Amino acid sequence: MRNEMTLEFLSVSENESLARVAVAAFISQMNPTMEELTDIKTVVSEAVTNAIIHGYEENPHQKVMLSCAIDGEQIEIIIKDEGKGISDIEEAKEPLFTSKPEWERSGMGFTIMENFMDKVDVTSEPNIGTTIRMMKQLTSTRALCN
């Protein structure tokens, strides 16, 4: 059975922890391992932070959209913004690349997402926004609701 949740919040840094907790609470019904839960919370943090800092350039009046779905043993997480977009996705995915070097950003967000998830798709268009879709198959699913 497929289960879904959607959350929309203002693009302020404080809401990054809200996104992490919301996804963690939602997927807890799958009884993930601590490592799986930590990985998923980390990628949600990276994607939401990218939307806030790079997509909206910290404009607190914009909204970040988060959706999460469970389908069998697979989790799908989508983080979407309607910000400035990414002109060169392949360049942005390069380790250590950052559009904010003056902020001493590590430039490892996409690398972390790709290492912790089974699949990461990024679509973006300048001045339209960015959507990050991540998938992960849990290895230890023992659904609590069954």
Tracing tokens 């990024």 back to the chain, one arrives at 122
pLDDT at 40 over 90: yes
Known active-site residue 105: yes
14-34 pLDDT, tens per residue? Answer: 999 999 999 999 999 999 999
Return the H-helix or E-strand segment holding 90: helix 89-92
C-alpha to C-alpha distance for 110 and 132, rounded to whole angstroms: 10
Answer yes or no: are the C-beta atoms of 53 and 100 closer than 8 Å: yes
Q: Say which of 20, 31, 76, 105 is annotated catalytic.
A: 105
pLDDT at 118 over 70: yes
52-94 pLDDT, tens per residue? Answer: 988 998 899 999 999 999 999 999 999 999 999 998 888 778 7
Give backbone dihedrals phi and psi of 68, rounded to 5 degrees, phi first: -140, 140
**pLDDT mean across residues, the chain:** 89
Give backbone dihedrals phi and psi of 42, rounded to 5 degrees, phi first: -65, -45
Q: pTM, whole model, 2 decimals?
A: 0.88
Known active-site residue 102: no
Known active-site residue 46: yes
Q: Say which of 46, 59, 102, 133 is annotated catalytic.
A: 46
